[in-house]
Amino acid sequence: MSQISHHKNDLKDLSSETTRHCAKEMVTYVITGNAIRGYHETYKQWTPKKYEVLKCIFDQGIVSVMKGKVNCGSVPTELQEVSRKFIMAGGNIEAKVIDIDPRWRGKGKEIPCRYIWSGLDNQILQEAVKAARKAVAKTRKKYNDDAIKFRLLPKEKKKNLRKRSTNGLGNRKIDEKIPKKKNVSTHVNSNAGKNGTCKGIPSATVTPSTSSLHNQQTIEEKIPLSSKNLAKLAQCINKNWVFLGLELGLNKAQIWQIKEEHPNSVEMQIYHMLEKWSQTEHQGAYLHTFKKAIAECPKVGYQQPELNNAILKITEDYKAQLNVKLLEI
């Protein structure tokens, strides 16, 4: 009976998390008065266009601004750490060019832009937002520039965020290359049953919960990491894994031993570091702990898309396993 109760409680937490995803809207923030750094190095491979929107990704230890596969520069040093934390929390960052004339600030040329942060509201994301507000305030004071601001974008202005064309001719239709985001409330209605519940999740009423952020963190804390899962995560890390090992609680002797046992393969060193962490944890290794640890290690290099996909796959597999166990009971 205790096992049945345990699985039902897990499914209840899962239902609460699913309800939150159904009912919670995306939040969008804008950082104004900023720029894309490093244009003095990238001007030969990229010609900026006014109002074009570029993607920001985290790879090889730095948040870069990309146009397809072309590196256009990077996020300012003052915003690097908070941008990385926001991306690791599942957020999306874009840079919108607002002026094509380069300016000098610091050690090189930069292109004026505003940074657009968007993501599904959760506890880790809000921690990154809180850190970003402090970083932006510090930057504003450093450069004595009141144009540098961090603000939440009102819902009614989100639709107009990208309406200006990329050729500087004023307001036109939204760029067809940018997919339109589906309205969250419409999505809820289209997936709701007659009794106002999400399909496939019985008794999960589509109403915002005051403890929704807690529910998401709780479900992540219950996702254990098997050896197979650790292997998936290890393949996404490619640089400075020692910092992550120390953050996870390994000591220098354990790290030295891992390097001695696998001197010719960094990949195997990373995997066995995660295995050692899993073995030394009294309650076992959990996904939530791994995500918090890697978010605290800015020097650790990893492949952002691959890591996000691996985390998503591990979460989906856990949810599917919960449903199967409940059916077996």
Q: How far apart are CA 313 and CA 33, in angstroms?
A: 38
pLDDT mean over 149-154: 88
Whether 41 and 154 map to the same domain: the answer is: yes
Is 123 part of any domain? yes
Please indicate, yes or no, whether residues 43 and 128 belong to a single structural domain of this protein.
yes
Classify residue 205 as exposed, middle or buried by CB count within 10 Å of its CB (0-12, 13-18, 19+): middle
* Residue 251, domain member (yes or no): yes
Residues 46 and 151 in one domain: yes
Is 190 within the bounds of a domain? no
Per-residue pLDDT for 261 more than 60?
Answer: yes
Mean pLDDT value across residues 125-154 = 89
What average pLDDT does the segment 222-228 reach? 85
For 283, the domain range is 223-328
* Domain annotation covers residue 139: yes
* pLDDT of amino acid 309: 87
Final residue before a domain boundary, out of 116, 139, 158: 158
Q: Which tens digits make up the pLDDT trace of 296-325?
A: 888 888 888 888 888 888 888 888 877 765
In percent, the amount of the chain with pLDDT more than 70 equals: 69
Report how many domains make up the chain.
2
Is 38 in the same domain as 128?
yes
Would you say residue 200 lies in a domain?
no
In a domain? residue 44: yes
> The domain that contains 256 carries what CATH number?
1.10.533.10
- What's the per-residue H, E or C state across 199-243? CCCCCCECCCCCCHHHHHHHHHHCCECCHHHHHHHHCCEEECHHH
> Do 139 and 230 fall into the same domain?
no
Residue 205 included in any domain? no
**Pick from 138, 158, 178: which residue ends a domain?**
158
- Residue 153 shares a structural domain with residue 232: no
Q: pTM for the full model?
A: 0.49
Q: Where does the pLDDT of residue 155 fall: very low under 50, low under 70, confident under 90, or very high at 90 and above?
A: low
The pLDDT of residue 115 is 96
